[in-house]
Amino acid sequence: MQLRDYQVEKANQAVEVLTNHYIVYLSMEVRTGKTLTSLETAKLFGSKNVLFLTKKKALKSINKDYEDFGYNNHFKLTIINNESLHTIDSDFDLIISDEHHRCGTYPKPNNVTKLIKQRYSKLPMIFLSGTPHPESYSQIYHQFWISDNSPFKSWTNFYKWAQVFVTITEKNFGYAKIKDYSNCNYEKIKPIMDNYFITFTQKEAGFTSEVTEHILRVKMSDYTYSLIKRLKKDKIVQGKNEIILADTAVKEMSKVHQLYSGTVKFESGATMTIDYSKANFIKKEFNKQKIAIFYKFKAELDTLKEIYKDSLTEDLEVFNSTDKNIALQIVSGREGISLSSAEYLVYYNIDFSALSYWQSRDRLTTMDRLKNNVYWIFAEGGIEDKIYKSVANKKDFTLSVYKKNG
Give residue 172's identity as a one-letter amino acid code. Answer: N
Burial track 296-310 (b if 16+ CB lie within 10 A, e otherwise): bbebbbebbeebbee
Return the domain boundaries, the chain: 5-205, 210-405
Is the omega angle on the peptide bond into residue 124 within 30 degrees of 0, that is, cis? no
Rounded Cα distance, 373 and 211, in Å: 6
Q: Are 377 and 216 in contact (CB under 8 A)?
A: yes
pLDDT tens-digit readout, 340-365: 899 999 999 999 998 888 888 888 87
Under CATH, domain 210-405 is a member of which superfamily? P-loop containing nucleotide triphosphate hydrolases (3.40.50.300)
The pTM (predicted TM-score) of the whole model is 0.75
pLDDT tens-digit readout, 77-119: 999 998 899 889 889 999 999 999 999 999 999 999 999 999 9
Give residue 227's identity as a one-letter amino acid code. Answer: L
Sign of CA dihedral 234, 300, 371, 355: positive
Rounded Cα distance, 90 and 103, in Å: 22
Rounded Cα distance, 247 and 250, in Å: 9
pLDDT tens-digit readout, 352-399: 998 888 888 888 876 666 678 999 999 999 999 999 999 998 888 887
Give residue 226's identity as a one-letter amino acid code. Answer: S
For the domain made up of 5-205, give the CATH fold: Rossmann fold (3.40.50)
Q: Are 145 and 113 in contact (CB under 8 A)?
A: yes
pLDDT tens-digit readout, 314-338: 999 999 999 999 999 998 888 878 8
pLDDT tens-digit readout, 45-77: 999 999 999 988 889 999 999 999 999 999 999
Q: End-to-end distance of the chain based on CA atoms, in angstroms? A: 55
